[in-house]
Each structure stands twice: as C-alpha cells, then as structure tokens.
Chain A
Amino acid sequence: MAHVLVFAESRGGAPRKVALETMTAARTLADAAGGEVHAILAGPPGIGAHAASLGEYGADRVLLIEHEALSRYDAESLTATVAARAGDGAYRAVVCTASAQGRDLAPRVAAALGAPIASDVVSVELDGDVLRVRHPAYTGKLVATLAVRGSPVVVSVRPNAFSAHAAPKAGTVEALALAADPGASRAKVVEMVEGARDRLDLADAPVVVSGGRGLRAPENFALLEELAAAFGGTAAVGATRAVTDDGWRPHSDQIGQTGRLVSPDLYIAIGISGAIQHVAGMRTSRTIVAINKDKDAPIFKIADYGIVGDALEVVPALTSEIRSARGTG
C-alpha cells in the first residue's frame, strides 16, 4: 500500500528533464508513506541505458518496458500497463508529469483504476489518509489546496514546480511487459512533427525572452532571437497573444492564460503592456525584467526591474551587455 509508482516520461528514446522533477515529487510521497519509488521507463529498445539516471533521482526499482512501438507515445497500451501495475495493491500513489503527454495519460490511468486524480499540482503532502496538494486554478489567478481521499490516487506534477534533487537509490532494473498490445491500439501516433527539436522548449528554458506589439513588426523579433542567443543556449523566445493572433509568431509560442505557462529564472518582457491574460502565464517567474516605452504600463507593477524605453533601442544594447557579461561575445 505504501509504494509510489511514477511514470518517467521519455521522448526520443531518453527520459525528459521533467521526468526527474517528477521523480523528486514521487520520492517525497514515498518517504512520507514509508515506501519505495518504482519508476516506469517505457520506450524503444535501448532506453534501458537510461535506467541508472532514475536510480540516482530516487527510484528503488526501475520497471523497464522496451518495445519498438514505444518510440512514439502509445496511450492505450501504456494506460493498460500503468493501471494494471498500479492496481496490484502495492501502491499508494501514481505520479505523472503534467506535460502534454502526462495530461493525456494520467486521467486515463485514474479512470481505468477508478481512482481520484489531482492534476497539475505544485506541491504534494501525505497526511494520513489524505493526500494534500496545491493546484493553480483559474489559470493561476488562484491556488487551490485540495484534499484527495482514496488509495491509490493519481497525481500529475506541474513542470518546473519541483527542482530535481539527486537521491541515490538502488534503481534495480526489472523488465515489465506491456499489458496490452500496441498493435491493437485504436488511436495511434502516425507521425511526429519534430519542427522545434533543436530549440529549447519554453517550459524547459531557464531564461525566456518574450515580445509583444511594442516590437512594432514581426521582423523585429530577430532582435529577441539575438538576445536569446546571447544566453548561450539557455533561453527561449515567447510572445503575447496579440502577436500570435496576428501571425507574427507561431501559436505555440504564446505565453498566457490560454497559452503556455512558464516559470523561468529570468523572464524578459519586451514591448509587452502586461495584460492580465499574459501575466497569468508568467507571473511565477523568479525574476521579471520589463522593457516598455510607456512608463505606466501594468507590466512595470510586476517586474522586478524595468527600463522605460523603445525596445528597438534597448534590446540591442542589452544583447551586447549580456554577451560581455557571459563571455559569449
């Protein structure tokens, strides 16, 4: 009853960075329950080479599933497999990442188990029969503390809410068979669109450089790309909804309550007024810098540091200053 089953999300034959954060959340729960962390690592043959990293981040056991069909996400066979394992009576909780994949998998597993779910949580705490979590609701404008009763419970953990902590455990590798044949899955990934693989994803980036209408024209986003590059591969470029609606930037770059939620160490808002809809997507960033022509723009109320000025003038100066500060110029 006391173990914790964690689904260590992978892509391209390796665990994702967010999987290690999720491991840390799972370890917290297992320690409180006096149990072990069992991490499911599922992917194409060869993914087992990464099992040791899960041991370093707190897995007592790594349940390894290697199958050709798992070079892509296969929701139906994985749901059956995770639910079959989680339902064997040994587990207090099942922990997934609240990523595009985990938000798909976790509810299916919960429904298959008849288990309650806490989605997209930023903290976990076990208190006797109750699992207590905090969950940003109302697009982050409020934070709900939820009490979840029942066992097992399913939890999905918000990316960037937990820092991955090394907690070396045995990481004993054990093969786990799929409980359903992926060949029989009805919905199937027929193609991966790798478009942005070489770019750092907004959710993973420690630095986010983001632009709004104040940049005046789509081509001026080149200045933001240069600023991001000055951070030496640790920065990603985002945009406001106004800009993505106008087609200046791809829809997937939109930061805000209906787009991506980011929480980087440093968020640089350039030519962004600070509409509620945008702020909802970035207000939990550790440090916020705003550059805007209008000294009364609401963004300055939430920015730690502001510069009043024209983005087209300030950004190139900032790029060159960052380059020399980091020795990348």
Chain B
Amino acid sequence: MKIAVCIKRAPDMEQRFKVAPSGTAVDEAGLKFDMSDFDGYAVEVALRLTEKAGDGEVVAVSLGPDNVQETIRKAMSMGVARGVQLKVDTVPMDALAIAQALAAELRDGGYDLIMFGKHALDSSNGAVGPMVAQLLGLPCVTACSRLEIANGTGTARRELEGAAEMVGFPLPAVLTIDEGIARPRLPALKGIMAAKKKPLEVKPAALGDVRVTVEAMKLPAERPPGRIIGEGAGAVPELVRLLQSEAKVL
C-alpha cells in the first residue's frame, strides 16, 4: 500500500491574528505554525493503513516555501517514510493552481491512496483534494469521518447536515479526512531523531495560472460590548424581556 498525504503548514489557530501592513495577508511575525489540524488526521490514517497492511510507504507532499520542510519533518517524525516539497515562494489562494501542481507530482507516483485533510485551517477552502481527484480522473470521497479499506476497495462515512452517507469506492482513490477519525500520534523522541535522516526531495512546483488573488484581509467586525444583566434565575424575566423588546429574536 503506497499512500501520499498532502499536508499544509498553517498557523496555530489559538492565537491572536493581526493583518500585515500590506493589508492583504496575515502578519506572520510571532505566530506559531504547525501542520494544519485535519492534515494530522490524514497522516495518522495513512500510517495506520500501511501498518495494518504490513507493507507500504507513506509519502508526505507539501507545497510552499522552505519553511514547509519543518511540517514535512513533523510528518516524518510520526512515521512518514519520505517527503516532497513542491517549492513556491508563496502559496496562492487559488485552489486550482495548487491542485494542478499537486496532480502533476502525484500522477505517476503509483499511489493507492492520495489523502488530504478536509480543509486547511488558513485558507479554509477544502477544494484542492477533490480538484486533484478530478484532474487525475480518480474516484474521491471528501470529509471521511470513518474509513475501512480491504481487498482493493474502501468504504467511508461522510457526515452531512443532519444525516450521514456511506460511500463505497475502488482504489486508487483520493480521500479527504475529517477530524475525529483517529487521534494523531505524538511523535516520540526516536521518531524525531529518525525524521532528520529521512529523504526530503525539493522540486519546483508546476503551479497553474493564479486567477484568485487576495485584495484585502481584515479582522471581522468586533461585536458591540455586551452586558451582564443579573445573577441567577432571578435575572431570567429581564433576559426574556430584552430578547423580545430589544433584540427582537423571540
């Protein structure tokens, strides 16, 4: 079983964000970065599948400037065998341009599965995975919350609004992974040491035309300051009165 996992470096979301002086990007100064959350689940799922199969290889692919090497090493410390950096100076907001670069890399890789996180926490698009599937002509299941693979076929569960669907698919396939499917392992010291010696190939990214650009990046409007209207059950009648007469939501 040969699996590629496409991972993205993204800021830790539990931080305060500022807009860069350009007005079109996040100010990265002082921000901590890590592998985007959902991608960690994808790496974990891929590792478990190859461990269960008893043979195979997991390859981490990341598009970005040299700082993505740190993210690839993190995946290696979890157990990924090797890495590929598709080098660009900046990662565009154009999902198709990115998908084209990834598809060019993955097309002849002989992968049984190509996996992504459900979406990256920074761009929050979730488009690159299904786009790669379409470009490669592969079956695809997005936002898998459960997954079984056996004898060249798979079944995945997708959560819908108020329902779920079970999807059957043949391999090779592209999957995007939702959280909760398998808790990502914490790299052990041995894994961290081993990761330093694993092969990491750097290639230029065959990025497509960039037709989606960021004109402005803004903090959302602040909510007006609220107020504490009282303590305990005694404050409830006043709350309901305000919801009716002031907020007009009842």
Contact = CB atoms under 8 A, between A and B. Distances in A.
Given A149-B211, A257-B121, A193 B165 contact: yes
Nearest to A265: B249
Given A143-B220, A283-B223, A325-B244, A309 B212 contact: no
Interface in B16-58: 17, 19, 26, 37-38
B167 A189 contact: yes
Interface stretch (B61-69, B70-78, B130-138): B130-138
A100 B225 CA distance: 34
A139 B215 contact: no
Interface in B65-109: 93-96, 99
B142 A191 contact: no
Secondary structure dominating the interface of A = mixed
Nearest to B169: A187
A194 B157 CA distance: 12
Contacts of B133: 108, 111
Interface in B228-248: 228-233, 235-237, 239-240, 242-244, 247
Contact of A186 (B123, B135, B170, B244): B170
B93 A144 contact: yes
Contact of A317 (B11, B163, B212, B236): B236
B166 A193 contact: yes
B159 interface: yes
Interface in B153-180: 155, 157-170, 173, 179-180
Nearest to A105: B130
B46 to A, nearest CB: 19
Chain B interface residue number, banded:
35 or more
Interface in A255-270: 257-258, 265-266
A165 interface: no
A307 B212 contact: no
A166 interface: no
Given A100-B158, A141-B17, A302 B244 contact: no
B159 A252 contact: yes
A187 B167 contact: yes
B134 A203 contact: no
Contacts of B155: 190
A186 B139 contact: yes
The listed residue with most A CB atoms (<10 A of its CB), out of B17, B122, B249, is B249
Contact of B126 (A112, A119, A140, A143): A119
B215 to A, nearest CB: 5
B207 interface: no
Interface stretch (A34-42, A175-183, A286-294): A286-294
A79 B134 contact: yes
B249 A119 contact: no
Interface residues of A, number: 97
Contacts of B143: 100, 103-104
Contact of A188 (B37, B140, B167, B179): B167
B131 A287 contact: no
Nearest to B95: A117
Nearest to B145: A251
B87 to A, nearest CB: 22
Contacts of B157: 193
B214 interface: yes
Nearest to A79: B134
B213 interface: yes
Interface string A241-254: 00000000001100
Given A110-B131, A265-B249, A308-B228, A147 B212 contact: yes
Contacts of B130: 104, 107-108, 111
A51 interface: no
Nearest to A260: B161
A302 B215 CA distance: 28
Given A114-B96, A142-B17, A142-B219, A103 B249 contact: no
17 contacts: A107-B95, A107-B126, A120-B124, A138-B124, A143-B220, A192-B165, A266-B249, A266-B250, A286-B249, A287-B247, A288-B223, A304-B247, A309-B232, A314-B233, A321-B240, A325-B244, A326-B250
Q: Which 9 pairs show the lowest CB-CB distances between chains A and B?
A: A111-B134, A317-B233, A201-B162, A107-B127, A186-B139, A187-B169, A187-B139, A111-B131, A193-B164
Given A283-B223, A306-B226, 16 more contacts: A100-B159, A103-B126, A139-B13, A146-B93, A148-B211, A191-B165, A191-B166, A258-B38, A287-B243, A289-B239, A305-B229, A309-B235, A313-B232, A316-B233, A321-B236, A325-B244
